Amino acid sequence: MWRQVPLIGSLGTQGSPERWLVALALLGWSLIAVLSGIFGMAMCMAAGAARQDTSHLIISSVPMQIAMTLLMLPLLAGTVRYVKLRSFECRRRRSVTMTIIGYVGVWFSGNVVLTLVAWGAHAAGIIASALAVASLVLAAVWQISPAKHLALLACHRHYPLYPTGGRADASCLYQGAANGLYCFSSCGPMMLAAMLSPYPVIAMLCVFLMLCVERYERRRPRVETGYALLAAAAVTLATAYI
Amino acid sequence: MVAAQVSGVYVREDVWGLPRWDPTLLWYAKAVGEMFPKTISDSSSWRFQAAIHGYIDTDPELLALMKPGEKLPAQTVQDTYWAKCQHASWYFLPWHRGYLGYFERIVRKTIIGLGGPADWALPYWNYNGAQPQSRLMRPEFLEATLPDGTPNPLFQSIKRGPYTLTATTLGQAGDFSIGPKDVSTKWDSMANFTDALAASSLGGGKTGYHHGEGHDPDPDAMGQLEKTPHGNIHNDVGEWMGSFETAGLDPIFWLHHSNIDRLWQVWLSNDPTRTNPPDTNWQKPRGLNLPFQFLDEAGASQDCDPQDVLNTETSKFTYKYANLNVTSPTTTLVTPAKPLALMVIKAPRPASTAPKMIGASTTNIAVGAQQTVTEVAIERPPELMLAVKTPGEEETYLNIENVTGTGRLSTQYVYLNLPKGGNPENYPELYAGSLPMFGVVEASLPTDEHGGHGRTFVLDVTELVDTLKRENHWNPEMVTVSVVPKRPLAEGASLTIGRISLYTR
C-alpha cells in the first residue's frame, strides 16, 4: 500500500523544499571535495578518469556522477513545490519522490553519457587541451542558440498531474524527467566543458552559479556567457601552445 | 473641462463624467495622433510605450505596423525596458502604476508641446460607475473623426472586437457585451493584498519578478482584481486589447488600467485595516531585473520600486482620483446599482494557511464551442463533504489548471452542478466565476517564460458549495463543472484545460 510507505520522510514534504534540496546540493559539493581529495582534482573528473583503467573509472567516476547530480537539485525547487500542492495530501511524499527520481534519473544518465564522451575522446588519443577548447567553443555556440533558449524555458514547465494510482506516479515521473531532460539539454554542453577543463571543480562551481542565475533570471541565456566561454577557450589554447 | 490640478496634484477624472469631447479626451486623442507615427525606437512613441507591456518580434500585428526600413531599438534597450508587464504576480498593481505614471508624464509633455493644458491627467473608465451606461465604451473612441473633421486617433486603425452601438446622451457608445459578471466587485471582499492562495487576495500571490515562481504555493494564480474586472475587460474589448503585445496600442487600455489602479485605492480606502504588503520583497524588491525600470518623458532611465508609488499624491507622479466610489454591477444597464455594503466581506485569515487538494479530474479537457462538462471525483470522507461550514471555518476553491489555447479566445464562465442540458443563463445561482483568457495564448507558447504550460485560475466557491449543501444539491463524491464560453470559439482557435481540481483550506 503506497499510502503507508512514504519514500521520502517529512523532511522532504514539509515547509520550504529549497532547504532540503540545498542541503542535498551541499552534500554533493562535499562529496566532490572529498573525492577530489582522494583521487586528485582532475583525476576524479571524466578527463582524469579517462586516463585510468575501467575499474578505476568506475570507482572514481560513479560517485562523482552522483555528486554532480545532487548539485542540480536546487533547480527543481519550484517543481517540487508544484507537485506537492497538486497532489492529494496522503500521497504528496510519493509524488515528490517520483518527480525527483525522474529528474535525477535523467541527470545521472546524462552525466554518464558526458563522461563516456570524454573518456572516448581521450581513448581516441585526442589531446586534452584540444578537447577542452572544442568543448568550450561548442558550449559557446549552444549558449547563444535559440534552441538553448527554448530548453531553458521548458526546464521548469509544469504538466497536469493525474490524481491517483499508477498513472499519478507516471505523471510525476514524467514531470521530473521532462524537467530534467530540458535542464540537461540547456546545461549539458557547459557541464561537458567544465568536465574537460584543466580545473574541473572550479569550472563546475562557475557553471553551477551561472546556471542558477540563468534559471532564476528567466529571460534568455546571457550572450555574455557565450563570450566568456569563447574567452576561456582562447585562454586554454594560449596556455597550451604558448 | 480639463482635469484640474489641485495644489500641484493632478486629478484623474471618470471619463463617463466628462462632457462630450471634453478637452481631456480631445487632447488625449491629439497626443495619440502625435505619438503613433513616431519611430518605434523613440521612447516617447506610442509603439515603444505599448512594447513596454509586451513585445514579440514575430507578432504579425506588430510587424504590420513597422514602416519600411524602420529599426528596433538596441537589444540592450529592448532587454531592459520591453516586455516587462507583471501578471499573475503580486507586482501586478505596483508595476502597472509605475508604467501608467511615466506614460501619463510622456503624454502630458506631448500635449503641452501641442499647445494643450499643462495639467492634463489620464482619465479612467469606471465600468462600475453610477451612470447606467458606464459599461459602454465612450463614443469618442468609436467615432471616425474629431470635432474638427480630422481623423480620430482614438478610433482610426485601432483593432477591437465586435460591438454594437447604443445611443446615449453623449452619442453612440460601444456595447462590447461587458456584463455584470465581467465587472464583479468580488475583489473588494478580499481581506488581504496577498495570500498563500492568490485567488483569496486582492493583488496576487507572493511571486518573484515577472510571473516567477516565488514562494507562493500556487505560482500561476493571480489576485482577484487582476482576474476580474481586469482580465475580463481586456477580453471583452478584444483584438489588440486581448493580448500582452498589442494591448497598449489601444488608447482605451490606458483608461482601463487607470481604473484598475483606482480600484486598488478604493480597496484601501474602503477599510482602514487593509494595508499593502510590508514585505521588503514587495516594497523594495531586489535581484535580477529589479528594481522596475522605465524611461521618463526626457528619455532618462528611472528606477521604480513599489514603495515609491504607494502614496499617489506624494509620489513622483502626484495624482489622485476624482472619485473613489464603486457600485456593484447591475444585471441591466438601467437598473439602479446595488450598494457595495451588501457584499460579504471576508474575514482576514492567516496568510500561511495552506490549501489541500480534495478532488481532481483525470483527463485533459478540450473546451468546445458550447458548454463543456467535466466531472471531478472527490476523495474525501462524505461526512466531511456534506457538513455546512460556518463562515471562515473552511474555504473551498476550484482550480482550473494549465489552461492553454490558440487564436482569439473569449472569457469562459464556470458553473457547478448545472442540470444536464440546462441553459446556464437560467441558473445564475450555480455560477462559480469567470476565466478571462487575457494572457492565455502567450502563456501557451514554447517561448513563454514557463515553456508554455499555460495559466491557472482559482475560483473561490465557498459560498456556492455551502448553498448547494444547504439545499441538498451537493453530491459529496462528485462535482460537475461546466465551462461556458461567453462567445463561441472563433475559427482556428482552440482551448484546453489540463486539469480541474477542488481544494479546501
What tens digit of pLDDT does each residue of B425-473 get?
A: 999 999 999 999 998 998 899 888 778 889 889 898 999 999 999 888 8
Q: Are residues B268 and B360 in the same domain?
A: no
- Tell me whether strands B9-12 and B319-321 are parallel, antiparallel or unpaired: parallel
pLDDT band at B178 (very low <50, low <70, confident <90, very high): very high
Nearest to B499 among A16, A82, A160 (CB): A160
What tens digit of pLDDT does each residue of A173-212 get?
A: 999 999 999 999 998 898 888 888 877 778 888 888 887 7
Are B464 and B353 in contact by the 8 Å Cβ rule? The answer is no
Q: Are residues B52 and B108 in the same domain?
A: yes
Give a yes or no: residue B349 inside a domain. no
Q: Are residues B386 and B298 in the same domain?
A: no
Residue B387 has pLDDT above 80, yes or no: no
Interface test with chain A among B353, B398, B449, by most A beta carbons within 10 Å: B449
Give a yes or no: residue B340 inside a domain. no
Domain span at residue B315?
A: 5-334
First to last CA, chain A: 65
Nearest chain B Cα to A81, which residue?
A: B217
The verdict on A123 touching B (C-beta cutoff 8 Å) is: no
Put simply, the answer to whether A158 touches B446 (Cβ < 8 Å) is: no
Residue B99, domain CATH: 1.10.1280.10
Give a yes or no: residue A11 inside a domain. no
The verdict on A146 touching B (C-beta cutoff 8 Å) is: no
Return d(Cα B86, Cα B309) in angstroms, integer.
16
pLDDT at residue B45 in the model: 98
Are B107 and B220 in contact by the 8 Å Cβ rule? The answer is no
| Total tally of structural domains belonging to chain A | 1
Nearest to A85 among B218, B361, B452 (CB): B218
The verdict on A227 touching B (C-beta cutoff 8 Å) is: no
What tens digit of pLDDT does each residue of B232-255 get?
A: 999 999 999 999 999 999 999 999
Judging contacts by C-beta atoms under 8 Å, the chain B residues touching residue A81 are 213, 217, 219
pLDDT at residue A224 in the model: 77
Nearest to B357 among A88, A167, A218 (CB): A88
Return d(Cα B246, Cα B239) in angstroms, integer.
8
Give a yes or no: residue B347 inside a domain. no
Q: Are residues B269 and B365 in the same domain?
A: no
Q: How many CB atoms lie within 10 A of CB A231?
A: 12
Give a yes or no: residue B344 inside a domain. no
pLDDT band at A11 (very low <50, low <70, confident <90, very high): very low
Residue B7 has pLDDT above 90, yes or no: no
pLDDT at residue A112 in the model: 84
Nearest to A153 among B208, B355, B450 (CB): B450
Out of B302, B334, B366, pick the residue that ends a domain: B334
Q: In sequence order, which residues have a C-beta less than 8 Å from that of residue B494 and are 6 or more positions away? A: B366, B405, B406, B407
DSSP H or E run through B293: strand B292-295
Are A122 and A131 in contact by the 8 Å Cβ rule? The answer is yes
Cis (ω within 30 of 0) for the bond into B94?
A: no
pLDDT at residue B385 in the model: 72
Q: In the 8-state DSSP scheme, what is residue B231?
A: I
Q: Are residues B288 and B404 in the same domain?
A: no
Q: Are residues B498 and B391 in the same domain?
A: yes
Put simply, the answer to whether A219 touches B213 (Cβ < 8 Å) is: no
Give a yes or no: residue B227 inside a domain. yes
The SS3 of residue A175 is helix
Residue A163 C-alpha, separation from nearest chain B C-alpha, in angstroms: 6
Give a yes or no: residue B346 inside a domain. no
- Tell me whether strands B164-168 and B171-175 are parallel, antiparallel or unpaired: antiparallel
Q: In the 8-state DSSP scheme, what is residue B15?
A: G
Q: In the 8-state DSSP scheme, what is residue B124?
A: B
Nearest chain B Cα to A222, which residue?
A: B79
Nearest to A78 among B213, B377, B379 (CB): B213
The pLDDT of B173-189, averaged and rounded, is 94
pLDDT at residue A13 in the model: 39
The pLDDT of B98-121, averaged and rounded, is 98
| Total tally of structural domains belonging to chain B | 2
pLDDT at residue A203 in the model: 82
Give a yes or no: residue B438 inside a domain. yes
The pLDDT of B263-270, averaged and rounded, is 97
Q: Which of A97, A114, A120 is nearest to A7 (CA)?
A: A97
* Segment among A8-17, B52-61, B100-109, B424-433 with least mean pLDDT: A8-17
Residue B441, domain CATH: 2.60.120
pLDDT at residue A12 in the model: 36
Domain span at residue A190?
A: 75-241
Return d(Cα B499, Cα A161) in angstroms, integer.
8
Q: Are residues B249 and B360 in the same domain?
A: no
pLDDT averaged over chain B?
A: 89
Give a yes or no: residue A61 inside a domain. no
Q: Are residues B73 and B185 in the same domain?
A: yes
Q: Are residues B313 and B380 in the same domain?
A: no
- Greatest mean pLDDT range, A43-47, A141-145, B11-15, B438-442: B11-15
Q: Are residues B273 and B389 in the same domain?
A: no
Q: Are residues B314 and B363 in the same domain?
A: no
The pLDDT of A9-24, averaged and rounded, is 64
B110: cell is 506631448
Q: Which of A75, A82, A84, A70 is nearest to A8 (CA)?
A: A84
Report angle CA B187, B240, B74 to the nearest 5 degrees.
105
Out of B334, B367, B393, pick the residue that ends a domain: B334
Interface test with chain B among A95, A145, A158, by most B beta carbons within 10 Å: A158
Give a yes or no: residue A220 inside a domain. yes
pLDDT at residue A217 in the model: 62
Put simply, the answer to whether A78 touches B219 (Cβ < 8 Å) is: yes
Judging contacts by C-beta atoms under 8 Å, the chain A residues touching residue B357 are 85-89, 163
Return d(Cα B333, Cα A20) in angstroms, integer.
56
Distance of CA B444 to the CA centre of its chain: 18
Give a yes or no: residue B487 inside a domain. yes
pLDDT band at B88 (very low <50, low <70, confident <90, very high): confident
Return d(Cα B343, Cα A220) in angstroms, integer.
45
Distance of CA A62 to the CA centre of its chain: 14
Out of B284, B301, B334, pick the residue that ends a domain: B334
The pLDDT of B410-439, averaged and rounded, is 93
**Residues in chain B whose beta carbon is closer than 8 A to a beta carbon of chain A?**
79, 208-210, 212-213, 215, 217-220, 288-289, 354-362, 364, 377, 379, 401-402, 446-453, 498-499, 501
The verdict on A161 touching B (C-beta cutoff 8 Å) is: yes
Q: Are residues B120 and B190 in the same domain?
A: yes
Judging contacts by C-beta atoms under 8 Å, the chain A residues touching residue B402 are 158-160
Put simply, the answer to whether A163 touches B362 (Cβ < 8 Å) is: yes
